[in-house]
C-alpha cells in the first residue's frame, strides 16, 4: 500500500482555464478597468469540483492581500429567515474585516435587524474600499441551491445589487451551484443577471484522470485513468475517493469498488436537505434509471415495484416521499420534470445492473409501458423515451431472467419473431408515431425536436449504427 498525498495538499489539476477566468478579471480590476461581467457562476453535478475551484481561487487571491469572504449555504442551518439574513451579512463583514484588518464602524449583533445588518455591511464595504484606495474585494457563495429562495433573493436585493450598482467599488462575485442559473431553484435578478458569466464544469477524461491520479500518488499499475472513469464518470471528487479506496484495498474487485462509491460516498455524503437517505434509497435508485420523471410516474413506479410498501398508503405520503427525493442533491430540475444527473445516472445504472438486476429490468419495463401510454395520450415526443427503454431491454433479451422475459411477453414488448432484425420494431413504432404527428393539426416542431434529441444523444448507447440511420431517416 502506497502512502498517498492528503486530499487537502493535492494540487488542483485540469482547471487552469476555470481558475484563470477569475484571475483575469481581478487583474483588470487592479488596472482600473471596469468589468461588467463580474458575476461568475460555476455549475455542475455533485463531486465535479465546484467547491474545490472556489477554494483554489480564494487561496490564490488571498496571496495578493485581497479581502475575500465565503458563504457556503450548505453549512447555514439557521431556520429563522430573519436570523439567517442577519447571519449572512455578519459573516461577510467579519471575514472581510479579518482579511483586511479594517474595523467596521458599526458592528452587527444578534439584536440587529436584517435590514440594518445589510445597510451596515454596505457602509463597511464602502469605507473599506475608500481606505484601501479602491482595492478590489471578492465575495464567494457556494452551494447556492441549499439557500432558502426568499433569503437568496433578499441577499441579491439588499446586498449584491447595491454593490454591483456602485461604480466606485471594484468587486468580483463568484458563485457555484448544482444547476445552471435562471432556473426555478435560484433565479438571479438584475443586475446580477446582466453581469453574469456561466461556466458549466465538465468531468475529467481518461488523460485528465491519469494526471489527477499521479498528483494523488497512485500509480498506473493500480488502475489507469481510462479504467477509473468507467466507475466514476470522470467526476474528480469520485476519482479521488476511488483512488484512495483502491490503494487501501488493492485486491478488491470492480463490484466492490462500485459498491463503495455508491453506498459509502454518493448515498452517504450527498443527502442534502433530505436527511438520512436510508428509507429513500430504493426509490432513488429506481428513478436514477429514468431520463426524466414526475410525481405521477414516480407514484406509478412505486406502486408497481413495492406493492406491499405502497398498497394502502395515502397519496399525501407518496407526495411527501417524492418531495424528499427532490430535496436530495441527487435530483435536478428539468423542463417538465426531474432527473438524476446523467453522470451520476451512469454510475447508478451500473450499480443497479450488478446489485439489483431484477429491479433494473422492471423499471425499464415499466418505463417502456408508461411512455407508450403517453404516446397514446398524444404526447408523441415520448416515443423517443419509449424506444430507449425498449432498446435497453432488447439488448439483454438473451441474458435476462426468464421471469422478466415472461413479463415482456405479457406486456407485448417482445419484438415480433417475423422481423429479421428486432430493432426494426423500434423503426416501425417511430414510423407510426411520425405518421400520426404529420396528421395532427397543431404544430409538431417541439415534438420532433425532443425525439431528435433522444435519437442523437441517448439512443446511440442502445441501438446499432444501422438502426440509428433508419431512425434518423424516418425523422428526416
| 45 and 68, same domain (yes or no) | yes
| 324 and 445, same domain (yes or no) | yes
Dist. CA 59–CA 329, nearest whole Å: 26
State the chain's mean pLDDT as an integer: 87
Range of the domain at 20: 7-200
Q: Is residue 264 part of a domain?
A: no
Q: Is residue 157 part of a domain?
A: yes
**CB within 8 A of 56, min separation 6: which ones?**
12, 15, 19
Dist. CA 420–CA 468, nearest whole Å: 16
Average pLDDT score over residue span 231-251 = 94
| 39 and 163, same domain (yes or no) | yes
Which candidate, 357, 347, 118, 373, places its Cα nearest to that of 254? 347
Dist. CA 41–CA 47, nearest whole Å: 16
| 195 and 217, same domain (yes or no) | no
Q: Is residue 270 part of a domain?
A: no
pLDDT exceeds 70 at position 441: no
Q: In this predicted model, what pLDDT tens digit does every residue of 30-86 receive, in sequence order?
A: 887 777 889 999 999 999 999 999 999 999 998 888 999 999 998 876 778 999 999
Average pLDDT score over residue span 190-211 = 93
More reliable by pLDDT, 109 or 31: 109
Q: Is residue 139 part of a domain?
A: yes
Q: Is residue 229 part of a domain?
A: yes
Helix residue ranges, H only, 233-280:
236-248, 254-259, 267-269
Whole-prediction pTM value?
0.87
Percent of the chain with pLDDT over 70: 92
Dig out the grid coordinates for 459 from the structure: 439512443
Dig out the grid coordinates for 263 from the structure: 453506498
How many domains is the chain built from? Answer: 3
| 232 and 380, same domain (yes or no) | no
| 453 and 368, same domain (yes or no) | yes
| 162 and 63, same domain (yes or no) | yes
Average pLDDT score over residue span 203-226 = 92
Dist. CA 119–CA 157, nearest whole Å: 12
Average pLDDT score over residue span 203-210 = 96
Q: Is residue 271 part of a domain?
A: no
Look at 163-172, 272-281, 381-390 and tell me which has the smallest mean pLDDT. 272-281
pLDDT exceeds 80 at position 132: no
| 339 and 467, same domain (yes or no) | yes
| 401 neighbors 441 (Cβ within 8 angstroms) | no
Dist. CA 377–CA 370, nearest whole Å: 11
Q: In this predicted model, what pLDDT tens digit does every residue of 372-424 receive, in sequence order?
A: 999 888 888 889 999 999 888 888 888 888 988 888 888 888 776 655 566 77
| 245 and 330, same domain (yes or no) | no
More reliable by pLDDT, 68 or 471: 68
pLDDT exceeds 70 at position 272: no
| 188 and 239, same domain (yes or no) | no
Q: What is the pLDDT of residue 9?
A: 66
pLDDT exceeds 80 at position 311: no
| 213 and 179, same domain (yes or no) | no
Q: Is residue 2 part of a domain?
A: no
Q: What is the pLDDT of residue 329?
A: 81
Q: In this predicted model, what pLDDT tens digit does every residue of 141-151 receive, in sequence order?
A: 999 988 988 99
Give me the CATH number covering residue 165: 3.40.50.300
Dist. CA 284–CA 1, nearest whole Å: 35
What is the pLDDT confidence band of residue 274, given thresholds at 50, 70 and 90?
A: very low
More reliable by pLDDT, 305 or 242: 242
| 465 and 439, same domain (yes or no) | yes
Amino acid at each position: 500500500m502506497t502512502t498517498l498525498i492528503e486530499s487537502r495538499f493535492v494540487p488542483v489539476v485540469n482547471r487552469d482555464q476555470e481558475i484563470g477566468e477569475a484571475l483575469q478579471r481581478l487583474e483588470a480590476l487592479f488596472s482600473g478597468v471596469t468589468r461588467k461581467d463580474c458575476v461568475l457562476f460555476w455549475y455542475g453535478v455533485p463531486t465535479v469540483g465546484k467547491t474545490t475551484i472556489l477554494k483554489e481561487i480564494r487561496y490564490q487571491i488571498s496571496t495578493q492581500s485581497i479581502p475575500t469572504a465565503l458563504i457556503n449555504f450548505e453549512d447555514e442551518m439557521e431556520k429563522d429567515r430573519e436570523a439567517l439574513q442577519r447571519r449572512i451579512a455578519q459573516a461577510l463583514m467579519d471575514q472581510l474585516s479579518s482579511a483586511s484588518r479594517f474595523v467596521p464602524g458599526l458592528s452587527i449583533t444578534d439584536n440587529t435587524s436584517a435590514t440594518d445588518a445589510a445597510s451596515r455591511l454596505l457602509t463597511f464595504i464602502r469605507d473599506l474600499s475608500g481606505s484601501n484606495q479602491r482595492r478590489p474585494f471578492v465575495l464567494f457563495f457556494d452551494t447556492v441551491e441549499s439557500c432558502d429562495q426568499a433569503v437568496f433573493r433578499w441577499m441579491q436585493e439588499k446586498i449584491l445589487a447595491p454593490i454591483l450598482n456602485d461604480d466606485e467599488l471594484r468587486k468580483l462575485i463568484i458563485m457555484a451551484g448544482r444547476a445552471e442559473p435562471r432556473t426555478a431553484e435560484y433565479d438571479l435578478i438584475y443586475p446580477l443577471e446582466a453581469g453574469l458569466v456561466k461556466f458549466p464544469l465538465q468531468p475529467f477524461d481518461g488523460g485528465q484522470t491519469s494526471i489527477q491520479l499521479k498528483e494523488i500518488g497512485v500509480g498506473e499499475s493500480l488502475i489507469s485513468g481510462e479504467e477509473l472513469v468507467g466507475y466514476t464518470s470522470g467526476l474528480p471528487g469520485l476519482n479521488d475517493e476511488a483512488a484512495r479506496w483502491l490503494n487501501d484495498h488493492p485486491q478488491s474487485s470492480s463490484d466492490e469498488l462500485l459498491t463503495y462509491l455508491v453506498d459509502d460516498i454518493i448515498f452517504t455524503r450527498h443527502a442534502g436537505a433530505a436527511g438520512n437517505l436510508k428509507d429513500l434509497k430504493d426509490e432513488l435508485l429506481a428513478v436514477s434509471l429514468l431520463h426524466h420523471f414526475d410525481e405521477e410516474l414516480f407514484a406509478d413506479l412505486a406502486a408497481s415495484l413495492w406493492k406491499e410498501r405502497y398498497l394502502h398508503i395515502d397519496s399525501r405520503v407518496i407526495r411527501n416521499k417524492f418531495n424528499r427525493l427532490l430535496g436530495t442533491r441527487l435530483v435536478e430540475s428539468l423542463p417538465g420534470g426531474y432527473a438524476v444527473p446523467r453522470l451520476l445516472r451512469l454510475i447508478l445504472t451500473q450499480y443497479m445492473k450488478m446489485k439489483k438486476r431484477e429491479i433494473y429490468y422492471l423499471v425499464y419495463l415499466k418505463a417502456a409501458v408508461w411512455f407508450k401510454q403517453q404516446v397514446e395520450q398524444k404526447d408523441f415526443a415520448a416515443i423517443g423515451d419509449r424506444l430507449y427503454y425498449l432498446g435497453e431491454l432488447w439488448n439483454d433479451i438473451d441474458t435476462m431472467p426468464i421471469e422478466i422475459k415472461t413479463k415482456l411477453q405479457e406486456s407485448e414488448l417482445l419484438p415480433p419473431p417475423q422481423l429479421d432484425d428486432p430493432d426494426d420494431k423500434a423503426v416501425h413504432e417511430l414510423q407510426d408515431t411520425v405518421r400520426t404527428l404529420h396528421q395532427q393539426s397543431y404544430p409538431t416542431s417541439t415534438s420532433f425536436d425532443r425525439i431528435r434529441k433522444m435519437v442523437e444523444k441517448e439512443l446511440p448507447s442502445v441501438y446499432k449504427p444501422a438502426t440509428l440511420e433508419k431512425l434518423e431517416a424516418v425523422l428526416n
